[in-house]
Structure 1
């Protein structure tokens, strides 16, 4: 036994060195679909290894093979030179391999501390959980890892960023020598992402193996030691990271897409004198204990305008989206779209005139056990005719949304839960935007006039690749050109700068600044931290 790491948490034998993982010619099929095809890759200790590729390229599947979550149909996975058999998460964990999944694997009704130690609980005589020891180990781990969460909070009440941190802490608590993370920064603010990579760098320097699936090429350039590109389940490129340069980014982009990147979407011009189409006045949400989660939020977005909301995660962004969608019963204040009070509308009128994408697509946007087609028309069936005409109209609507947003694979009968995270996000955005700003009707569809209204989009490109982000950005710009007021809530400042006409900065449930997209990072950062403008 080499002794515990600096965090004070006991770890498996040999945890002082990382676990070398080799995937040798691995293939994994799901029915007729080949997710990974003959891929070979070595994850070496002491380095951060980035794995990138388009949605559906096989990145998550590759990580699950390495972590024993699924077994290869062909090829072999080795840990420290020895085949991983049986290919199970328990065997992988026993040999020092831990995985942080893209979608949370937490018990919402448990406290954070209980989730952290679940399956590895310290116990007293009689088998009772020793909370004092669990809390001491958890605090030491958080201090050593530089990740902090409220241990006594119910997990369902944590922000998305806090739940992501908890997932990472769970793996570290079990002393993993190889840490595999699937899109760990997709739910984190830029500052939180930097802090996470600082933690991963410390772990790599201690000799651990670190692999990260990401869509953010700036993360690859800034933090990765080695990068592997997957395309259609095969390794298209694998080399040491060469840092930040335009040529290096172009090379990765070409490898990811099999060609040149799509052009950036141009921000649509904003007409002078455009009327306010989304008006929010004194919006307030009070949480448990009387704490104000939203505190008198007031702003207006004009028809055709794209306004961005920036802020450190947990400063009211989630509550803002929910309150505007009418899902926050504790909300007070005035919200109007197109001059009409939302509170005076029935549910169908709200749905028709206000498209909403929430930050957590699995909790508030997608039915994983339903088909792609059913997910694409959730909430729309009441607007379609009955009988054979209705079934034909539904099929045409599904086909148009699949084509418009390039959902892959384009199979409406497939379960939504079987798609990659990025393609699941396309479904959620397609349903929200196409409902309030439909494109030209497809074959067999009746012509529909665009419904001038508003769209609230929370983290619209979270976890999606370059090509998918371009499709979603084009749809957002198109909705603005059709006269919609668009509110984009995003942790990606680059996305907000490219898309938006202005940026609203949130802090502690308030709008504290309205800035032009060309403002400096320092200006935005100071506003986020509550400091006076530079």
Structure 2
């Protein structure tokens, strides 16, 4: 892109919110066009939702608006002046802040240190002015309705608090336009409501707010304007009012360009199904003697899909890590079909217990490795050697790509180049296909029952309706074949649709076991430690 004429650059930042215009912008990655001649205006005082399928170009569009990427063609304007040079520093100087889908925080730093990282205030002599930073951060939090403990290590914050910390960071840098990529992907409904209350407050102050999300109920409840992208193009942009009674269906059809996939139904639970995953008295003690898990006891039967719900930070992540063998147990027993997990070697454990962690970037993928390498990560030791092994590996990769519809279906592409939803398909495909390769679909001949279990944390985090249906169908098929599945999710709708029972966690304990037909109020009261209504 050539530099725009200087008069367009010279316009000073305007007060209030920053109006952002993307005028016929295009962005390619090699032969793949991620954004194609897209035009969009983000206005001050509004919450603008951007929706679309995985790979539709939503995140790329936000990165163009925030100077993280430069357009190959077209122009991005902030307050009428072209964003040039197209860099994050210039965008920040002009009042544009981006909150990435995956947190950009240093876990060992204090929350306050993350707030000022890169724009540290200094006193005479070059000393860091943390007292001044704390006072300014406090004023910003009060104005925005944020509550974050600033003097604790960032790793100790809940996911919801870290999301707020990212918003505080961009506000501290003077952001007048706040762009958020999938901010509620792993938040509970209560945390999501609190986040949107903050965003509404910022919009009322005149700031520009744009949110990329797959949660269409949020769009209907909170957005002032909605833009739909499909295959890199803007196909619909309108005020978020005047929908029919089937608003979610209208949006889904606009996103997919047709009718949505049928909803996946949970499979029937076989009578007399044996206990498959048994957790008894599981205890994990963290730093300072704090009980992260406090005697967790539950059983999941063969062919059952059980769900774990709770406000983030109440032991869900520790439960998954302890079951995966990543965090040491202080006490308790974990067994799959009667065999204690600790008695297995690594290879046997992988064959009996598939695990998907909540953060695919930190714990699920090698972003600089190929799609193919990621799909067989941990499996190569079980394949034959030599030419037979290479053929078996290629066949395994091809099967997993086809079964989960990974796009593009190119095993040589780097995993980091794929959309978030297709990255999620990779980690779910690897975990489920490893322990349930014989999962059968409707109409297929019966096969031997699977004597294994899967622990799936946020299995559809950041994925669109179509991709979620693929993942849900794979979970249901695996359960039909006898797999015991424990799903940990912040999406109560997902848990209700998929699961036979719901476990509610609070302060590292299972505090309630509820049927999927229970009300939001029942789940919410259990999450908060109140008596059932």
1:5 aligned partner: none
1:269 aligned partner: 268
Matches for 1:277-316 after TM superposition, within 5 Å: 277-316=276-315
For each residue in 1:217-242, what CA deviation from the matched residue of structure 2 results, as whole angstroms up to 9, or x when unmatched? 00100000110000000011111112
Gaps of 5+ in 2: 1-11, 441-446
- Residues 357 and 243 of structure 1: CA distance in aligned 2, closer, same or farther (over 3 Å): farther
Return the offset for 1:432.
0.3
2:338 aligned partner: 339
Residues 1:468 and 2:467 aligned together: yes
Secondary structure (helix, strand or coil) at the match of 1:52 reads: strand
- Residues 129 and 357 of structure 1: CA distance in aligned 2, closer, same or farther (over 3 Å): same
- Residues 495 and 244 of structure 1: CA distance in aligned 2, closer, same or farther (over 3 Å): farther
Q: Determine the C-alpha separation between the residues in 2 that align with 1:163 and 1:414.
A: 31
Q: Number of residues paired by the alignment?
A: 517
Secondary structure (helix, strand or coil) at the match of 1:504 reads: strand
Residues 1:377 and 2:371 aligned together: no
Q: Determine the C-alpha separation between the residues in 2 that align with 1:317 and 1:331.
A: 16
Q: Could you tell me whether the CA contact under 8 Å between 1:64 and 1:70 is conserved in 2?
A: yes
1:355 aligned partner: 354
Q: Could you tell me whether the CA contact under 8 Å between 1:56 and 1:419 is conserved in 2?
A: yes
Q: Could you tell me whether the CA contact under 8 Å between 1:178 and 1:210 is conserved in 2?
A: yes
Q: Could you tell me whether the CA contact under 8 Å between 2:336 and 2:452 is conserved in 1?
A: yes
1:364 aligned partner: 363
- Residues 376 and 246 of structure 1: CA distance in aligned 2, closer, same or farther (over 3 Å): farther
Residues 1:69 and 2:68 aligned together: yes
Q: Determine the C-alpha separation between the residues in 2 that align with 1:412 and 1:266.
A: 31
Q: Could you tell me whether the CA contact under 8 Å between 2:282 and 2:329 is conserved in 1?
A: no
For each residue in 1:155-175, what CA deviation from the matched residue of structure 2 results, as whole angstroms up to 9, or x when unmatched? 234333332222111111112
2:101 aligned partner: 102
For each residue in 1:444-484, what CA deviation from the matched residue of structure 2 results, as whole angstroms up to 9, or x when unmatched? xxxx9664210000000010000000000001111111111
- Post-superposition, which runs of at least 4 consecutive aligned residues in structure 1 deviate over 6 A? none
Return the offset for 1:110.
1.7
Q: Could you tell me whether the CA contact under 8 Å between 2:294 and 2:509 is conserved in 1?
A: yes
2:33 aligned partner: 34
Q: Could you tell me whether the CA contact under 8 Å between 1:323 and 1:331 is conserved in 2?
A: no
Q: Could you tell me whether the CA contact under 8 Å between 2:439 and 2:478 is conserved in 1?
A: no
1:9 aligned partner: none
TM-score normalised by length of structure 2: 0.94
Q: Could you tell me whether the CA contact under 8 Å between 1:20 and 1:209 is conserved in 2?
A: yes
Gaps of 5+ in 1: 1-12, 442-447
Residues 1:164 and 2:163 aligned together: yes
Return the offset for 1:14.
6.1
Q: Could you tell me whether the CA contact under 8 Å between 2:264 and 2:469 is conserved in 1?
A: yes
2:437 aligned partner: 438
Return the offset for 1:506.
0.4
Which moves more between the two structures, 229-238 or 16-25? 16-25
Residues 1:237 and 2:217 aligned together: no
Q: Could you tell me whether the CA contact under 8 Å between 2:439 and 2:481 is conserved in 1?
A: no
Secondary structure (helix, strand or coil) at the match of 1:65 reads: helix
2:4 aligned partner: none
Matches for 1:242-253 after TM superposition, within 5 Å: 242=241, 245-253=244-252
